[in-house]
């Protein structure tokens, strides 16, 4: 099986477009189509359906995709190991994480890593923790930094790094900001702006509320924490977010009964050998938090 055909298949599966895949692979669209046709011929199965301008994976394509990712990732790892023998740390390092972890926890670490390992090609993708964990399982990322709220799924291995405190916040001009009698019961009756499910942060919030056999009155859902921060800051409801994200646009409300924390962990696949770049990145993390 030709690895270039597999790589073309993965690109088309990810981008759902032959033209965009051709641009990414620096090939012509007919060349990409030819590679897919060769792979389909070899497997005696159709891998994509073309419906109008849309490209969809067939059942066979969905079966092939996880294995194709694993094969491609393993070959990339082998190339990386061989290229780095006796040399400086180089190659590609693919990391998945969420925007708030990247901004509020990783910025200084990434700066230090970039200054030390100038030959490493860093590929950092941002998404919610649930999607990022799935991508690590499928071999898309070599490792991830995620907010975790339960056991590590499947064959993933976890190293807990930070314990992050979440606080209840409202806009400075929100009625709850000046109410001296605000308590847990009153808070639950007020409109809330929380992250959409599924997300690691939302699961942590819901678990903390469930200890009181309660649920928030969620009137608006946010796709990410920065969006939630904006919506809370203009008075659309109360929110619950990492304390590191709070600035002058928000007011913290102390609710003694409500303790919300989430752990941020480094996650990798237990069957995947770490590249030198990945190991160097782990070594860059402060020893006090590993």
**213-224 pLDDT per residue, tens:** 999 999 999 988
**C-alpha to C-alpha distance for 220 and 51, rounded to whole angstroms:** 35
Q: Does domain 163-262 have CATH number 3.40.640.10?
A: no
Question: Which superfamily is assigned to 82-162+264-284 in CATH?
Answer: Periplasmic binding protein-like II (3.40.190.10)
**C-alpha to C-alpha distance for 15 and 92, rounded to whole angstroms:** 21
Q: Does domain 3-68 have CATH number 1.10.3720.10?
A: no
Predicted local confidence at residue 87, as pLDDT: 60
- Tell me whether the CATH fold assigned to 82-162+264-284 matches the one assigned to 163-262: yes
* Single pTM value for the model: 0.65
Q: How far apart are the first and last CA of the chain?
A: 41
State pLDDT tens for residues 92-123. Answer: 889 999 888 988 888 888 998 999 999 899 88
Half-sphere exposure of 192 (CA within 13 A, CB side): 20
Predicted local confidence at residue 189, as pLDDT: 94
Below-70 pLDDT ranges, the chain: 81, 83-87, 286-290
Reading phi first (left if > 0) and then psi (alpha if -120 to 50, else beta), residue 184 is in: alpha
The residue extents of the domains of the chain are 3-68, 82-162+264-284, 163-262
Taking the CB of residue 24, how many other CB atoms lie within 10 A of it?
Answer: 16
């Amino acid at each position: 099986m030709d690895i270039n055909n597999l790589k073309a298949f993965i690109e088309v599966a990810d981008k759902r477009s032959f033209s965009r895949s051709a641009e990414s692979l620096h090939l012509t669209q007919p060349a990409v189509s030819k590679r897919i046709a060769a792979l389909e011929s070899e497997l005696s199965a159709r891998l994509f359906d073309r419906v109008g301008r849309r490209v969809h994976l067939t059942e066979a394509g969905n079966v092939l995709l996880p294995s194709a990712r694993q094969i491609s990732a393993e070959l990339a790892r082998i190339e990386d190991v061989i290229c780095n023998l006796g040399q400086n740390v180089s190659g590609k390092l693919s990391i998945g994480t969420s925007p708030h972890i990247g901004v509020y926890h990783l910025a200084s670490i990434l700066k230090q890593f970039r200054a030390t390992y100038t030959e490493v090609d860093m590929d950092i993708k941002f998404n919610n923790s649930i999607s990022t964990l799935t991508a690590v399982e499928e071999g898309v990322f070599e490792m991830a930094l995620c907010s975790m709220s339960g056991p590590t799924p499947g064959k993933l291995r976890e190293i807990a790094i930070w314990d992050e405190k979440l606080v209840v916040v409202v806009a400075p001009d929100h009625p709850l900001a000046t109410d001296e009698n605000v308590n847990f019961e009153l808070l639950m009756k007020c409109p809330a702006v929380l992250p959409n499910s599924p997300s690691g942060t939302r699961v942590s919030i819901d678990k903390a509320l469930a200890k009181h056999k309660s649920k928030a009155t969620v009137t608006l859902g946010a796709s990410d924490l920065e969006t939630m921060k904006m919506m809370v800051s203009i008075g659309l409801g109360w929110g619950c977010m990492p304390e590191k994200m709070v600035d002058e646009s928000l007011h913290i409300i102390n609710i003694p009964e409500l303790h919300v924390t989430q752990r941020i962990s480094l996650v990798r696949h237990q069957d995947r050998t770490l590249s030198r770049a990945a190991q160097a990145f782990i070594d860059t993390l402060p020893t006090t938090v590993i």
